[in-house]
Amino acid sequence: MHTDVRQGIRKLKTFRQKEKKEKKKLSGKTSPKVISSETQIRPADLILIGALALLSLLLLTLPVLSRTKLRSPALLIRVDGKEYGTYPLSLDRTIEINDTNVCEIKDGKAKMTSANCPDKICMQENAIGESGGTIVCLPNRIVLSVVNSEEPEGGELDGVAR
Amino acid sequence: MVSQDRISRKIAEMGLLLALAVLFGYVEAIIPVPMPVPGMKLGLANIVIVTVLYLAGWKQAIIISALRVLIIGFLFGNLFSITYGLAGTALSILGMTLARKTGRFSVLSVSALGGLLHNCGQILVAVLVVIGFPWQWYLPLLMLAGLSAGTVTGILNRLVLPRVKPLFS
């Protein structure tokens, strides 16, 4: 089996060499597509990878820093960008979303328990609770997020755009 | 006669590479490897795409990766996965081609950049398709995921490229 493959490769190589000679005769020039230096690691590589890693870490700190503990957290369900409903996290319940997904609120945390999409990635996501977070079902365009259900009291939130 | 032979062989080569790229995607779909982020993949097919990009050119790389996304999408996915895949692959190949053209980077960082841009393209589609998509959370996480996956496939490509080079016309 292996020897067969090797023989085949050898044949192929000799065929290639023959053809290369032919090609040289014909055109008189060869254009190597890969310069061997392109597989050698260069300082610029490490700089680029390091810079990209730093950039993504910086972007990651933005939502982490802006995260605040919510006083009366509620689960906001949006389908296709439109609000489907808001449910307080303090009450345990199961919510069916358009016959495609089912999510469950339990012990102050929300989780997707059922989805009709093939990959079921939303069901693998960690439960979201009072510290915020989101669960997204991309195929069914459902976004679960934890928001503060408290109505803003006049005066307190002056100047805060919502 | 000779030129016609070369064209036929090129077609056969591209067909083989496309099959290999599809196979890598299939293997990744049926054997789930535990990953830190749900849905994250190593992107083994990227090895094939980068190889084609380096040894055949960006046009062939675009054709092969677009066909790969369509075939994988029709076989195992849906219209959404095709849209996400095409956006990711387009951005990724564009970035990798430009990075390679500068001549300053080796396969390692070109592939890493490709992995990162692949995920950025998918986030872009998600933002356009799903209103209220929390990209602030997903973008940096998926950028890191793509960067690390792209670096791993880049390391593999450093080993693959010199070995398969003689087989290309």
The Cα of B19 is separated from the nearest Cα of chain A by a number of Å equal to 19
Residue A154, chain B, CB below 8 Å: the answer is no
- Residues B54-103 have pLDDT tens digits of 999 999 999 999 999 999 888 887 788 899 899 999 999 999 999 999 98
What pLDDT, on the 0 to 100 scale, is given for residue B1? 59
Contact between chains at B143 and A40 (C-beta distance less than 8 A): no
Q: What is the ipTM of this complex?
A: 0.84
Average pLDDT across chain B, whole number: 88
Q: Taking CA atoms, what residue in A is nearest to B117? A: A52
Which residues in chain B are closer than 8 Å to A33, comparing Cβ atoms? 54-57, 168
What pLDDT, on the 0 to 100 scale, is given for residue B17? 92
The Cα of B166 is separated from the nearest Cα of chain A by a number of Å equal to 8
> Which residues are A12's β-sheet partners?
none
Q: How many residues are listed for chain B in this entry? A: 169
Is the predicted pLDDT of residue B39 greater than 50, yes or no? yes
Is the predicted pLDDT of residue B34 greater than 80, yes or no? no
What pLDDT, on the 0 to 100 scale, is given for residue B110? 95
Which residues in chain A are closer than 8 Å to B106, comparing Cβ atoms? 37-42, 45
What pLDDT, on the 0 to 100 scale, is given for residue B38? 65
Under CATH, which number does the domain A73-148 receive?
A: 2.60.320.10
- Residues B2-16 have pLDDT tens digits of 688 888 888 998 999
The phi, psi pair for B124, rounded to 5°, reads: -60, -45
Which residues in chain A are closer than 8 Å to B55, comparing Cβ atoms? 33-34
8 Å CB contact between A76 and A83? yes
Q: Which domains does chain B have, with CATH numbers?
A: 2-167 (1.10.1760.20)
Count the alpha carbons within 13 Å of A132 in the hemisphere toward its beta carbon.
Answer: 12
Name the token pair of A49: 């990878």
Confidence of residue B50 (pLDDT cuts 50, 70, 90): very high
> pLDDT under 50 in chain A at which residues?
27-32, 151-162
What pLDDT, on the 0 to 100 scale, is given for residue A31? 42
Q: In what order do the strands lie in the sheet with A134-137?
A: A82-88, A73-79, A142-148, A134-137
Please give the single-letter amino acid code of residue A27.
S
Neighbours of A93 (CB within 10 A): 13
